[in-house]
């Protein structure tokens, strides 16, 4: 019998590739399944890559059987909120239906552990701007709804079988690998720090700021930005937690404090040395003034200790990656 392996779905994507890097650096046996619709094969630094979709049950069945998988880290998903509003069925098909198919395969194969990539979008609009794991879920877009449905399927399956899970609800993921080996290469990205860095290096003409009249200190929205390498480390901690017979749980992934859009722009300008072009626009519907995690539970439960809780460092790694992409013609 071959040694136990880990299946990482969506492992060629932004977050998945950073997790694969950490898994590989500690010598894990890794199988990466990705259809490359938004990911990049060159981002995979370790493991065996298989091109395919999590909705392909025959393929997933074969992978789980042939590679002696005991744990699954499930990242594969569409993640663009405006697109989910315009094309909701695409999101329910890929994010929800494909997750259901993956779970059926996991159940048949007797998979022990699954770690699921979820989102703070499951909370919707908040009265206080702060969300704990006990905050009622009320997503306001199909992206958040598609992820919440997947969460519920995982919980229900765990109750009915021996499958154990950790659901990680991400807040605003940003930055790139401090080693400079991988980063966020997503085309037409919508995440603020990524877009601002693209403006700085000339990939985009300007940064649009949606709303400067919020009830916040400087009038712009405040978000909890978490460095992607800290988020990746949370998945390693969660895997160790489950392997040590930890109980199934749901955890927020954030730093517990936020920065405004203007503070992010100032950090970009400081690191870049030249002010980027900004155009102020009206608020977008559904954008809350403030969205910050209550994040004590993840530290207490799985022992997560973030190393990159620094806006200037997040911005620095983002800009460094954009410059590297320019140099390599990407």
Q: Is 290 exposed, middle or buried (0-12, 13-18, 19+ CB in 10 A)?
A: middle
**Strands, E, within 28-139: which ranges?**
30-34, 48-51, 69-74, 113-119, 130-131
Q: Is 123 a catalytic residue?
A: no
**DSSP H or E stretch at residue 6:** strand 5-9
Which of 128-158 are b and which e, b meaning 16 or more Cβ less than 10 Å from the residue's Cβ?
Answer: ebbbebebebebbbbbbbbbbbbbebbeebb
Q: What contacts 163, CB < 8 A, 6 or more positions away?
A: 106, 107, 111, 112, 113, 114, 154, 157
303 Ramachandran zone, left/alpha/beta (phi>0; psi -120 to 50): left
Rounded Cα distance, 228 and 129, in Å? 22
Rounded Cα distance, 316 and 330, in Å? 19
Q: What contacts 188, CB < 8 A, 6 or more positions away?
A: none
DSSP category for residue 12? T
Q: Where are the alpha helices (DSSP H) in 273-310?
A: 296-302
Q: What contacts 175, CB < 8 A, 6 or more positions away?
A: 193, 227, 228, 229, 308, 313, 314, 315, 317, 318
Selecting among 143, 214, 225, 241, the annotated active-site residue is 143
Backbone angles phi and psi of 131, in degrees to 5:
-125, 125
User: How many alpha carbons fall within 13 Å on the CB side of residue 85?
Assistant: 8
| Residues classed as catalytic | 143
């Amino acid at each position: 019998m071959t040694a136990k392996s880990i299946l990482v779905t969506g492992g060629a994507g932004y977050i998945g590739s950073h997790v694969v890097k950490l898994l590989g650096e500690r010598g894990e046996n890794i199988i990466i399944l990705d259809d490359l619709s938004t990911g990049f094969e060159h981002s995979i630094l370790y493991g065996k890559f298989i091109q395919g979709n999590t909705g392909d049950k025959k393929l997933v069945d074969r992978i789980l059987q042939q590679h002696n998988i005991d744990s699954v880290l499930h990242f594969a998903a569409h993640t663009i909120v405006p697109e989910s509003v315009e094309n909701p069925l695409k999101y329910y098909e890929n994010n929800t239906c494909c997750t259901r198919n993956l779970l059926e395969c996991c159940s048949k194969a007797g998979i022990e552990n699954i770690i699921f990539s979820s989102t703070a979008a499951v909370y919707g609009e908040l009265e206080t701007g702060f969300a704990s794991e006990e905050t009622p879920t009320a997503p306001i877009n199909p992206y958040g709804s598609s992820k919440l449905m997947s969460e519920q399927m995982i919980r229900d399956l765990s109750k009915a079988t021996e499958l154990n899970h950790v659901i990680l609800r991400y807040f605003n993921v940003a930055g790139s690998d401090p080693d400079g080996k991988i980063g966020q290469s997503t085309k037409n990205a919508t995440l603020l720090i990524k877009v601002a860095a693209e403006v700085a290096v000339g990939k985009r003409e300007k940064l649009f700021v949606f709303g400067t009249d919020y009830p916040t200190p400087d009038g712009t929205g405040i978000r909890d930005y978490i460095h992607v390498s800290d988020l990746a480390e949370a998945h390693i901690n969660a895997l160790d937690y489950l392997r040590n017979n930890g109980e199934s749980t749901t955890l927020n992934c954030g730093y517990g404090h936020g920065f405004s859009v203007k503070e992010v722009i100032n950090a970009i300008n400081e690191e870049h040395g030249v002010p980027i072009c900004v155009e102020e626009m009206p608020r977008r519907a559904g954008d809350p003034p403030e969205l910050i995690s209550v994040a004590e539970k993840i530290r207490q439960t799985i022992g997560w200790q973030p190393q990159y809780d620094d806006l200037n460092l997040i911005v620095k790694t983002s800009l460094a990656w954009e410059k590297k992409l320019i140099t390599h013609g990407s």
